């Protein structure tokens, strides 16, 4: 036991002498130094075994293993890191540009199909009927609501009535934002606003101008944001029954009971031209982005497409009674409704409807003398396969257009009591608004006393968010 400790003290002293003694031992050419080195190796090996037996013992840092980096090597390393970063940023940028290019290409393709009237988004199959408690009623008009528009950003709704007033509503909350009061008959010179039944409204695609037309042959132009009066257009000899802004412009088309269509430039506060052709009072008008508009000719039983630039018109026949409402589905197809109770889909390439649903809202009356419910309003979700119709049968009906618009299938109905005088889809298709009254917008043939004058906001839910596009 004593020899072991003596040996260890000798070796420890030898090891702790430092590098100088180890170097002299290494330089000694005699066998004694080799024997000492061998014993030192053995003892060091024994110590390392003790260290392995004590894993918690702290090991000294070996500074000799650290490699110092020269300035040139540091510059090279930083340059490589910078190049890697640049390469990563360029790859990410290329990926984003590729995505944007695909997005732009898809948008351009959609625009081209839309111009050709071949864009049809198949969303009708995914629509779900809302629960009755989800349908909201906004009340504020004293008399029947006759027309309405939704702002392009879908934040506000404007409604007009037989009480000569216009109300601006906040779509989400249903709050009344502003009211443009109606005036009494005979106060036209003093009152800023309408003094007769308001029959139609339109809003420009950029939301800059709101137009309204009344039974007094007047067209009023308003600032939708402030509800301030801007212009007043005169020139029609009968009630103004239809208004529409050409999409992407401030060109306004107006239709009247005087059987004419007029073109106006709202930016310049100027009249442009008048178009003639209908043989009876015009009851409805619509247009999209092309330089043309479509009209419903009332009891002349015609639908007409007016090509403004070519100064020509296309005439279509099909309804058995008065055609009371019309709206474009896309640039090539339109939907109409009439007092014969039928709904028809048209294409500009055929003079007859491509499909017709008779007694679309059923019929009423005594047995043998049943009369169909008049179709008082129609609406279309632009560039889709979804349309809606309204009557006074206590329901708004949604329809699915078949492929190529060659058929109409009922989807579901929403209970609404009264005359549905106006229908509008929001641009996104998230909701449908119905303007309802106790009386028909064009007359006072009879009255539904239990009806409430106001707006019904109908949410439209979908099972699937993705939309299919067919050519």
Beta strands 386-390 and 454-459: pairing type?
unpaired
How far, in Å, CA of 425 to CA of 380, rounded?
7
- pLDDT per position as a tens digit, 220-278: 999 999 999 999 999 999 999 999 999 999 999 999 999 999 999 999 999 999 999 99
Reported as a pLDDT band with limits 50, 70 and 90, residue 110 is: low
Distance (Å, rounded) from C-alpha 462 to C-alpha 129?
9
Residue listed under structure tokens 């980096």: 69
Mean pLDDT of 207-218: 96
> From residue 136, how far is each of 36, 129, 210, 394, 434 by CA, in Å?
102, 14, 24, 16, 10
pLDDT at 55: 44
The predicted structure's pLDDT at residue 365: 72
pTM above 0.85, yes or no: no
| Position 61 pLDDT exceeds 60 | no
CB 335 within 8 A of CB 326: yes
Q: Which residue is it, tokens 């208004």? A: 243
Q: For a pLDDT cut of 70, what percent of the chain falls above it?
A: 79
Q: In b/e form, how buried is each residue of 228-265, taking b as 16+ CB within 10 angstroms?
A: eeeeebebbeebbbbbbbbeeebbbbbbbbbbbbbbbe
Q: What per-residue confidence (pLDDT) applies to 462?
A: 87
**Quick one: pLDDT at residue 378?**
97
The number of helices, as runs of H, and strands, as runs of E, in the chain is: 4, 34
Q: What is the pLDDT of residues 352-378, one digit of tens each?
A: 999 999 999 999 876 566 889 999 999
Looking at the predicted structure, is the pLDDT value of residue 139 above 50? yes
Name the nearest CA neighbour of 123 among 348, 401, 447, 340.
Answer: 401
> How many whole angstroms separate alpha carbon 350 and alpha carbon 333?
10
- In the predicted model, what is the mean pLDDT of residues 407-424? 95
pLDDT value, residue 96 = 77
Q: Kind and range of the H or E element at 413?
A: strand 408-415
| Per-position DSSP letters for 128-182, written without gaps between them | EPPPGGG-EEE---SS-EEEEEE-TTSSEEEEEETTS-EEEEETTT--EEEEE--
CATH of 120-470 among 3.40.50.1100, 2.130.10.10, 1.10.10.10, 3.90.870.10:
2.130.10.10
- More confidently predicted of 255 and 318: 255
What is the predicted pLDDT for the residue at 21?
40
pLDDT at 104: 72
The position carrying tokens 């078949």 is 402
Two tokens, residue 71: 């300035």
Whole-number Å distance between alpha carbons of 295 and 213: 16
- Please, which residues bridge with residue 233 across strands? 219
Contact 375, 360 (CB under 8 A): yes
Instruction: Check whether 160 has a pLDDT greater than 80.
Output: yes
Would you state the pLDDT for residue 94? 82
- The fraction of the chain above a pLDDT of 90, given in percent, is 64
Angle at 278 (CA atoms; ends 272, 284), nearest 5 degrees: 75
- Reported confidence tier of residue 67, pLDDT bands at 50, 70, 90: low
pLDDT at 310 over 80: yes
Residue 75 binned pLDDT confidence (cut-offs 50, 70, 90): confident
Judged against a pLDDT cut of 70, whether residue 380 lies above it is answered with yes
* E strand intervals along 33-140: 120-122, 127-128, 136-138
Which whole-number Å values give the CA distances from 245 to 203, 265, 288, 430, in the listed order?
A: 7, 10, 8, 22
Q: What is the largest CA-CA distance in the chain?
A: 137
Instruction: Place 92 in a pLDDT band, splitting at 50, 70 and 90.
Output: confident
Look at residue 455 and tell me whether its pLDDT is greater than 80.
yes
3-state SS, one letter per residue, for 267-310: CCCEEEEEEECCCCCCCEEECCCCCEEEEECECCCEEEEEECCC
For the chain, the domains span: 120-470
- State the chain's mean pLDDT as an integer: 84
**156-183 mean pLDDT:** 96
């Amino acid at each position: 036991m004593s020899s072991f400790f003596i040996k260890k003290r000798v070796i420890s002293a030898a090891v702790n002498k430092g590098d100088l003694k180890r170097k002299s031992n290494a330089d000694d050419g005699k066998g004694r130094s080799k024997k000492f080195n061998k014993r030192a190796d053995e003892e060091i090996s024994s110590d390392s075994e003790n260290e392995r037996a004590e894993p918690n013992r702290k090991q000294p840092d070996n500074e000799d293993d650290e490699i110092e980096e020269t300035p040139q090597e540091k510059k090279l390393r930083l340059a490589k890191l910078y190049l890697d970063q640049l390469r990563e940023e360029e790859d990410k940028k290329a990926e984003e540009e590729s995505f944007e290019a695909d997005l732009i290409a898809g948008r351009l393709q959609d625009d081209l199909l839309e111009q050709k009237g071949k864009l049809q988004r198949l969303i009708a199959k995914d629509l779900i009927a809302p629960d009755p408690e989800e349908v909201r009623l906004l009340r504020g008009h004293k008399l029947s609501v006759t027309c309405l528009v939704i702002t392009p950003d879908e934040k506000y709704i404007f409604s007009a009535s037989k009480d000569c007033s216009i109300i601006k509503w906040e779509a989400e909350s249903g709050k009344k934002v502003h009211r443009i009061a109606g005036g009494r008959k005979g106060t036209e010179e003093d009152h800023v606003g309408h003094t007769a039944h308001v029959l139609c409204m339109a809003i420009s695609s950029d939301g800059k101008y709101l137009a309204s037309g009344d039974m007094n042959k007047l067209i009023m132009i308003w600032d939708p944001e402030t509800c301030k009066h801007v212009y007043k257009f005169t020139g029609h000899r009968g009630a103004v029954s239809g208004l529409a802004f050409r999409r992407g412009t401030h060109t306004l088309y107006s239709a009247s009971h005087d059987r004419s269509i007029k073109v106006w430039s709202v930016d310049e506060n100027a009249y442009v031209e008048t178009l003639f052709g209908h043989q009876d009072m015009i009851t409805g008008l619509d247009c999209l982005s092309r330089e043309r508009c479509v009209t419903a000719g009332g009891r002349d039983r015609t639908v007409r497409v007016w090509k403004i630039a070519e100064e020509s018109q296309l005439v279509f026949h099909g309804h058995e009674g008065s055609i009371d409402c019309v709206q474009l589905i896309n640039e090539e197809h339109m939907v109409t409704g009439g007092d014969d109770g039928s709904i028809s889909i048209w294409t500009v390439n055929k003079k007859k409807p491509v499909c017709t649903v008779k007694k679309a809202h059923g019929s009423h009356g005594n047995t043998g003398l049943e009369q169909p419910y008049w179709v008082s309003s129609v609406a279309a979700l632009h560039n889709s396969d979804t349309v809606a119709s309204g009557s006074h049968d206590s329901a708004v009906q949604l329809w699915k257009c078949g492929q190529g618009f060659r058929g109409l299938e009922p989807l579901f109905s929403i209970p609404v009591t009264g005359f549905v005088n106006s229908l509008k889809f929001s641009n996104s298709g998230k909701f449908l608004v119905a303007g309802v009254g106790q009386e028909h917008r064009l007359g006072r043939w009879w009255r539904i006393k239990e009806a409430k004058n106001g707006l019904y906001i109908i949410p439209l839910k979908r099972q699937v968010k993705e939309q299919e596009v067919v050519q």
